């Protein structure tokens, strides 16, 4: 890591500078411009000198050192990606690698879809740090809170507004909201009838509402929206489930089918007060999982 700066500290420093120069209504961020100008001022002997798209069939983005005889670094993204939000997050992710990891990894990085889409610490510490920087850089928490208050009951339109404001994917905006909301909510990303990965808000996690896929695939409920795509209008749908579908309590499911990723994004909203006992917030999800009978681990 460069110096002692954390991902959040790097993002805060750049956010403070951008606020001073451009003011609060400065979104979405011109990542290429900021990356090149900021690093030229901060690291004049080792800046980012190029940000460009190319054909990258096996990965979404890369950070690489300039060819021999030239100083600096380049960021490259897969121009075959159709989602501008996905491209933006990829650029910010690689910018994060430059700030945080380039000294320890002088050969740079090649990052695939999961490296950029997921920003949970269980996936990989280095990729988690790059995504944590990207989230804080692209979606500063103070501004995001002004769009959606911590106690607000959200819908897809509210989160889509934030995705448009910051020019990020719906997943990135949802994960950012989950990081501070006081509501009990769970994000589930699924494909072909199985959960790829999931993320819970702190309030949901404390009450045992989570899914852990580290031990193997978890099948989604047969009554869930990804299984019933005939109910979708313009790629999205919502439904109120009773107890025993996703969890042992009612849940509102809002699902978007993301063609650019070929998977379904489901946001599950639960009542503010959990019907079952809460857990110690310091415990790890794997600990919760071990406490449950095998047949209950999926549907808790």
The alpha carbon torsion through 8, 11, 14, 18 (nearest 10 deg) reads -120
% of residues, the chain, pLDDT over 70: 86
136 touches 29 (CB < 8 A): no
Domain presence at residue 292: yes
Taking the C-alpha atoms of residue 192 and residue 269, their distance in angstroms, rounded to an integer, is: 22
Q: Nearest to residue 257, comparing CAs of 231, 230, 236?
A: 236
Instruction: Please check whether residues 15 and 132 belong to one and the same domain.
Output: yes
Place of tokens 């000198």: 49
| pLDDT (average), residues 260-280 | 77
Q: Spell out a b/e string for 54-79, using b for 16 or more CB atoms within 10 Å of the CB, else e.
A: eebeebbbbbeeeeeeeebbbbbbbe
| pLDDT (average), residues 260-268 | 85
Taking the C-alpha atoms of residue 60 and residue 110, their distance in angstroms, rounded to an integer, is: 8
pLDDT in tens, 231-240: 888 889 999 9
Q: How many domains does the chain have?
A: 2
| Predicted confidence band of residue 264 (pLDDT cuts 50, 70, 90) | very high
Six token digits for residue 163: 């995705």
Place of tokens 């199985």: 194
Instruction: Please check whether residues 19 and 129 belong to one and the same domain.
Output: yes
Instruction: Please check whether residues 32 and 101 belong to one and the same domain.
Output: yes
Q: Which of the two residues, 94 and 262, has the higher pLDDT score?
A: 94
pLDDT in tens, 248-259: 999 999 999 876
Q: What distances in angstroms separate CA 86 from CA 97, 217, 294, one per listed residue?
A: 17, 25, 36
pTM for the whole thing? 0.84
Instruction: Return the pLDDT at 31.
Output: 97
Domain presence at residue 64: yes
pLDDT at residue 297 above 50? no
Six token digits for residue 198: 């999931």
CB atoms within 10 A of CB 294: 7
Q: Nearest to residue 195, comparing CAs of 214, 172, 171, 167?
A: 214
Domain presence at residue 66: yes
Contacts of residues 159-165 at CB distance under 8 Å and 24 or more positions apart, as own/partner, are 159/267, 163/85, 165/27, 165/28
| Predicted confidence band of residue 282 (pLDDT cuts 50, 70, 90) | very low
Domain presence at residue 158: no
Taking the C-alpha atoms of residue 178 and residue 172, their distance in angstroms, rounded to an integer, is: 10
* Mean pLDDT score across all residues of the chain: 86
> Where on the phi/psi map is residue 235: left (φ > 0), alpha (ψ -120 to 50), or beta?
left
What CATH number does residue 203 fall under? Answer: 3.30.450
Domain presence at residue 168: no
61 touches 111 (CB < 8 A): yes
Instruction: Please check whether residues 35 and 120 belong to one and the same domain.
Output: yes
Distance of CA 1 to the CA centre of its chain: 21
Taking the C-alpha atoms of residue 262 and residue 266, their distance in angstroms, rounded to an integer, is: 13
Taking the C-alpha atoms of residue 285 and residue 214, their distance in angstroms, rounded to an integer, is: 11
Instruction: Please check whether residues 111 and 13 belong to one and the same domain.
Output: yes
Instruction: Please check whether residues 113 and 209 belong to one and the same domain.
Output: no
Instruction: Please check whether residues 15 and 118 belong to one and the same domain.
Output: yes
Domain presence at residue 164: no
Query: Which residues make Cβ contacts (< 8 Å) with residue 146, sequence separation at least 6?
Result: none
Domain presence at residue 149: no
pLDDT at residue 65 above 60? yes
Range of the domain at 221: 183-296
Domain presence at residue 284: yes
Instruction: Please check whether residues 124 and 189 belong to one and the same domain.
Output: no
């Amino acid at each position: 890591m460069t110096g002692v700066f954390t991902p959040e500290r790097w993002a805060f420093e750049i956010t403070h500078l951008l606020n001073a120069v451009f003011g609060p209504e400065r979104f979405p961020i011109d990542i290429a411009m900021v990356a090149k100008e900021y690093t030229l001022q901060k690291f004049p002997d080792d800046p980012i000198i190029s940000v460009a798209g190319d054909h990258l069939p096996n990965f979404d983005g890369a950070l690489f050192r300039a060819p021999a005889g030239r100083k600096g670094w380049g960021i490259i993204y897969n121009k075959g990606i159709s989602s501008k939000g996905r491209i933006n997050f990829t650029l910010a992710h690689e910018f994060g690698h430059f700030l945080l990891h380039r000294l320890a990894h002088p050969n740079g990085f090649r990052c695939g879809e999961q490296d950029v889409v997921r920003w949970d610490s269980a996936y990989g510490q280095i990729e988690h740090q790059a995504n944590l920087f990207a989230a804080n850089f692209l979606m500063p928490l103070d501004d995001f809170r002004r769009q959606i208050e911590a106690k607000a009951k959200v819908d897809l339109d509210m989160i889509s507004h934030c995705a448009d404001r910051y020019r990020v994917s719906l997943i990135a905006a949802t994960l950012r909201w989950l990081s501070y909301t006081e509501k009990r909510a769970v994000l589930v990303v699924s494909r072909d009838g199985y959960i790829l990965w999931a993320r819970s808000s702190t309030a949901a996690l404390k009450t045992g509402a989570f899914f852990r896929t580290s031990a193997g695939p978890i099948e989604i409920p047969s009554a869930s929206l990804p299984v019933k795509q005939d109910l979708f209008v313009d790629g999205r749908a919502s439904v109120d489930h009773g107890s025993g579908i996703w969890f042992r309590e009612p849940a509102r499911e809002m699902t978007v089918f993301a063609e650019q990723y070929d998977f379904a994004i489901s946001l599950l909203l639960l009542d503010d007060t959990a019907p079952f006992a809460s857990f110690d917030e310091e415990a790890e999800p794997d600990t919760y999982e071990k406490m449950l009978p095998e047949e209950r681990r999926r549907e808790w």
